[in-house]
Amino acid sequence: MTAAIEALGLGKRYGRRWALSDCTLSIPAGRVTGLVGPNGAGKTTLINLATGMLAPTTGSITVLGSKPASGPEQLAKVGYVAQDTPTYAGLTVEDHLRFGAHMNPGWDAALAHKRMSQLGIDPKQKAGKLSGGQRAQLALTLAIAKRPELLILDEPIASLDPLARREFLQVLMETTAEHEISVVMSSHLVADLERVTDYLIVLMSSRVQVTGDIDELLATHYLLSGARRDPAALPAGQQVISARHTDRQSTILVRSTEPILDPTWSVSQLDLEDLVLAYMGNTTASVETGHKIMEEQR
Amino acid sequence: MIEFHLDGRSGVAPYLQLIQQVRQSLRLGLLREGDQLPTVKDVSGLLAINPNTVLKAYRELEYEGLAAARPGVGTFVTKTLSSDSIAAYTELSLDLEGWLSKARAAGLDDESIGAIFQRTIRTAVQEEAL
Amino acid sequence: MMWLTWRQFRWQAVTAAAVLAVLAIALAATGIGLSTRFDQAGLSTCHSACSSLATNFVRDLRGTPYAALFFGCIILLYLAPALMGIFWGAPLIAREFEAGTHRLAWNQSITRARWSAVKLGLIGLAAVATAGLLSLMITWWAGPIDRALNLVGGSPSFGGTRMSPVVFAARGVAPLGYAAFAFALGVTAGVLIRRTLPAMAITLVIFAGVQFLVPNFVRPHLLPPVQATAPFNANTANEIMISAQGNANSTDNTMTVVGDFSQPGAWMLSNKTITPAGKAFTGPAGTACTGNSTPQQCGNWLDSQHLRQQVTYQPASRFWPLQLIETGIYLILAAGLGLLCTWQVRRRRA
């Protein structure tokens, strides 16, 4: 199966600052991928590179097998909702649907109208007068009704209230199930993504920290707690992600394909939020030791 | 047609919760052999969860022999549990009452009893899944 | 894409149509009257005394609504390209950047090149058509006045002939070139600056600058000016000036004279009075033109100096050639700016 998005050594520089560097990943198709990281980590840069809004400084990126925005056919396969879900404030909802129909040969007008009526959005309403949630739904509909193979969403629900958020995700999931679309969704809140994503990319400081299937990641990461010891002394199969120490105790996060059998460890597993935080380096106290280890592993 | 719900704080994975709810419905007689389970599209749309999660749950049910997928139509129940389990229920209820008296006699209050119970169930379910 | 462009342009189109309609009504209502006056003044059939008939005709127009309309239309044709550049051109793409809707538009199944080309092409065409209609109506309406001014010769004190810089820019096909250029300038400013208000300001400044420079420094040389020399005749001199440096009666004061050179309808570029030696005549005033001497004595003395008048001008017959050349240049500039815009939009800078 062609990867949805494939990047090799991808990097983008603005003046002296690298917004994204050394990014190599392969996002599989048919999944809902969560792109997580704090603000300024490079999520929007990666998305801009994937949608063809930016050109790379180094490396390459292919989307559904072709260069991003390389022509009308490729553009038709990718639906994109930018941050703050831009719409034409002066145009009505009906105008937006007509806009979609005129600009996309693969436009599914029935689907678009059904969505709008299901959500109770008045077609004669100007887009500028819609609520944040309704605008987000309109933008999503515009992206979905052109029947793409891949949907790229840049923090689409960040500024929505909880109900609007839930409704957005409901529509997104229903559409993903019905049309078998791949989705790449970025967010700086893990809680948003937990229920909907099954593939994860963590970005931090302009670099990719970890990528992988979420179930597999959760199953292979273990939090080991026990008597203080040197993380370098752990067996080779156990990759240390981070470590914290007090005078008597060590708490070490490892990634291992084998289960941990050492009886001197108390072993527990993480939930998604803890896992992401660990990779974002959110370990307080004894940070020095922890960071050194993380540097070695990269 | 049954309707699923998710408990975000139970610590149990969503797909496991779906499986449990199907089993529960079978036991209570809400689902009978031949009934259709809600479509993947409807479940993911209602609960705002990844369709693959629902697929995983349904595949697990298939593996256990409780349901079968008919391509292009949906997933249907293939076995009922109610008749088997009603007798088991009565026996289990009596066993539980006995255990509860023992626990109270040992001095445990309701909260501790609840904690033991939750922990044991959680561990058992997770071991079952692996 | 065409539908979207028109839909976003709706209100501007309505405004333009309204202005055109109002103007059409005003001009239609008065145009017949003007033509009738022209005929009644005998100007449509005159052969010999045309110049004086024309002078009378033009003089009688002063203070009438016709004069107000004449000048009003010139102002309108000056403003129209500038306004279209500022209000149609500058916001065209800058507004999309400001609202972030370029992220919506550039993800539809259409390339950026096509998106910007259609916008530029359709609205540019609308701008040129609007300017064209304005110029067509106004050039038609002002026909009688233009023809009269052409017959007057000398320097009329009513606006100017259509060759004069003031009127030239408000006749014929020149406004089409200006409109295309102003529009393309506005869009380019918007693409490069990405903010509507600064783009509008820059467009205004640059366009005004160009519109000042072209008639003064470029147009005179679009076709080689005609040079002519004629004997200086003090009787018909336009101007005899003595600059009094200190003593008004000093015979050393500098003196300049400007002779009359009659080329009806021409655009005078320069008019120098030179001595037989070929140098510019600067006096000195001498005894003949200072103190108690009469103008007649001064005049006789001047004539005896055998001065000559050297003029350069663009004749009236060059009106259409100059119009076409100038419009062509502006159109080429506009096209160049359009290509620059499209190239800039295609660059991946988000």
- Whether residues A163 and A42 share a domain: the answer is yes
Per the CB < 8 A criterion, the answer to whether A154 and A165 are in contact is no
CB-count burial class (<10 Å; 0-12, 13-18, 19+) for C20: middle
- Whether residues A222 and A198 share a domain: the answer is no
Which of A99, A104, A186 to mutate: most C Cβ within 10 Å?
A99
Among chain C, residues having any CB pair with chain A shorter than 8 Å are 1, 3-4, 7-8, 99-101, 103-112, 347-350
- Whether residues A158 and A229 share a domain: the answer is no
Closest listed residue to residue C349, CA positions, set C120, C106, C4? C106
Pairing of strands A32-36, A182-187: parallel
Number of domains into which chain A is organized: 2
Which pLDDT score, from 0 to 100, does residue A270 have?
Answer: 86
User: Does residue C250 carry a pLDDT above 80?
Assistant: no
- Whether residues A264 and A153 share a domain: the answer is no
Rg (CA), chain C: 26
* Residue A45 maps to a domain: yes
Please report the beta strands in B1-130, taking only residues with DSSP state E, as ranges in sequence order. 67-70, 74-77
- Whether residues A83 and A222 share a domain: the answer is no
* Residue A210 maps to a domain: no
Cα-Cα end-to-end distance for chain A:
29
Partners of residue A106 in chain C, C-beta under 8 Å = 109
Tell me the CA distances in angstroms from C303 to A136, C274, C307, one per residue in order.
88, 12, 7
Which pLDDT score, from 0 to 100, does residue A94 have?
Answer: 94
Q: Say what percent of chain B tops pLDDT 90.
A: 24
CA C205, chain centre distance (Å): 17
Per the CB < 8 A criterion, the answer to whether A61 and A68 are in contact is yes
Task: Report the residue from A86, A90, A99 with minimal CB separation from C103.
Answer: A86
Task: Report the residue from C108, C111, C350 with minimal CB separation from A48.
Answer: C350
* Residue A196 maps to a domain: yes
- Whether residues A261 and A131 share a domain: the answer is no
- Whether residues A198 and A222 share a domain: the answer is no
Count contacts between A and C (CB, < 8 Å): 77
Q: Enumerate residues 6+ apart whose C-beta is below 8 A from C154.
A: C260, C262
Long-range contacts of A92-98 (CB under 8 A, 24+ apart): A92/A123, A92/A124, A92/A125, A92/A126, A92/A127, A93/A121, A93/A122, A93/A123, A93/A124, A93/A125, A93/A127, A93/A130, A93/A138, A94/A123, A94/A124, A95/C7, A96/A127, A96/A138, A96/A142, A97/A123, A97/A141, A97/A142, A97/A145, A98/C3
Q: How far is A45 from chain C (nearest CA, A)?
A: 10
Q: Beta-carbon neighbour count of residue C240 at 10 Å?
A: 18
| Residue range C115-124, pLDDT digits in tens | 999 999 999 9
CATH of the domain at A164: 3.40.50.300
- Whether residues A152 and A233 share a domain: the answer is no
- The pair of structure tokens assigned to C280 is 């510019």
Of A163, A182, A205, the domain-final residue: A205
| Residue range A178-226, pLDDT digits in tens | 988 999 999 887 877 888 999 999 998 888 999 999 989 988 998 888 8
Partners of residue A95 in chain C, C-beta under 8 Å = 7
Partners of residue A114 in chain B, C-beta under 8 Å = none
Residues spanned by the domain of A281: 217-297
Q: Cα dihedral sign for C93, C95, C97, C101?
A: negative
Q: How confident is the model at residue A291 (pLDDT cuts 50, 70, 90)?
A: very low
Partners of residue B14 in chain A, C-beta under 8 Å = 195
- Whether residues A195 and A122 share a domain: the answer is yes
Of A205, A230, A261, the domain-final residue: A205
CB contact under 8 A, A142 and C111: no
- Whether residues A180 and A239 share a domain: the answer is no
User: Does residue A288 carry a pLDDT above 50?
Assistant: no
* Residue A175 maps to a domain: yes
- Whether residues A69 and A164 share a domain: the answer is yes
State the Cα–Cα distance between residues C178 and C89, nearest whole angstrom: 13
Average pLDDT score over residue span C190-205: 96
Task: Report the residue from C1, C7, C109 with minimal CB separation from A95.
Answer: C7
Which pLDDT score, from 0 to 100, does residue B11 have?
Answer: 75
Cis bond before residue C175 (omega within 30° of 0): no
B108 and A CB contact within 8 Å = no
Q: How far is B48 from chain A (nearest CA, A)?
A: 4
pTM for this model (two decimals): 0.84
Per the CB < 8 A criterion, the answer to whether A50 and A33 are in contact is no
| Residue range C211-220, pLDDT digits in tens | 999 999 999 9
Helix axes C2-40 and C143-152, enclosed angle (nearest 10):
50
| Residue range C122-175, pLDDT digits in tens | 999 999 999 999 999 999 999 888 888 888 765 556 777 888 888 999 999 999
| Residue range B29-71, pLDDT digits in tens | 888 888 899 999 999 999 999 999 999 999 999 988 888 888 8
Per the CB < 8 A criterion, the answer to whether C58 and C148 are in contact is yes
Identify the bridge partners of residue C255 per DSSP, sorted by sequence position.
C242
Q: In what order do the strands lie in the sheet with A239-245?
A: A239-245, A249-255, A221-227, A266-268
Q: What single letter denotes the amino acid at residue C179?
A: A
Alpha-helix residue ranges (DSSP H) falling in C41-173:
50-61, 65-84, 90-99, 102-105, 112-141, 143-152, 165-168
B38 and A CB contact within 8 Å = no
Q: Say what percent of chain B tops pLDDT 70.
A: 93
Q: Beta-carbon neighbour count of residue A110 at 10 Å?
A: 9
Q: Enumerate residues 6+ apart whose C-beta is below 8 A from B12.
A: B20, B122, B125
State the Cα–Cα distance between residues C279 and A296, nearest whole angstrom: 89
Per the CB < 8 A criterion, the answer to whether C267 and C311 are in contact is no
Residue B110 parent element (H or E): helix B110-129
Which of C6, C98, C107 to mutate: most A Cβ within 10 Å?
C107
Average pLDDT score over residue span A252-281: 85
* Residue A212 maps to a domain: no
CB contact under 8 A, A198 and B50: yes
**Rama region for B11: left / alpha / beta (φ>0; ψ in -120 to 50; rest):** left
Of A205, A235, A257, the domain-final residue: A205
The single residue listed with the structure tokens 């649907």 is: A97
CB contact under 8 A, A176 and B54: no
CB contact under 8 A, B49 and A170: no
CA C151, chain centre distance (Å): 20
Lowest mean pLDDT among A49-63, A143-157, C78-92, C252-266: C252-266
Pairing of strands A150-154, A182-187: parallel
Which pLDDT score, from 0 to 100, does residue C65 have?
Answer: 86
- Whether residues A97 and A16 share a domain: the answer is yes
Q: How confident is the model at residue B2 (pLDDT cuts 50, 70, 90)?
A: confident
| Residue range C20-35, pLDDT digits in tens | 999 999 999 999 888 8
Residue C15 φ/ψ, nearest 5 degrees: -60, -50
| Residue range A107-152, pLDDT digits in tens | 999 999 999 998 899 999 999 999 989 999 999 999 999 999 999 9
Which pLDDT score, from 0 to 100, does residue B86 have?
Answer: 62
Per the CB < 8 A criterion, the answer to whether A216 and A223 are in contact is no
Lowest mean pLDDT among A43-52, A220-229, B73-82: B73-82
DSSP chain A: ---SEEEEEEEEEETTEEEEEEEEEEEPTTSEEEEE--TTSSHHHHHHHHTTSB--SEEEEEETTB-TT-SHHHHHHEEEE-TT----TTSBHHHHHHHHHHH-TT--HHHHHHHHHHTT--TTSBGGGS-HHHHHHHHHHHHHTT--SEEEEESTTTTS-HHHHHHHHHHHHHHHHHHT-EEEEEES-HHHHHTT-SEEEEEETTEEEEEEEHHHHHHHEEEEEEE---GGGS-TTSEEEEEEE-SSEEEEEEE-SSPP--TTSEEE---HHHHHHHHTT---SSHHHHHHHHHHH-
* Residue A52 maps to a domain: yes
Average pLDDT score over residue span C39-57: 81
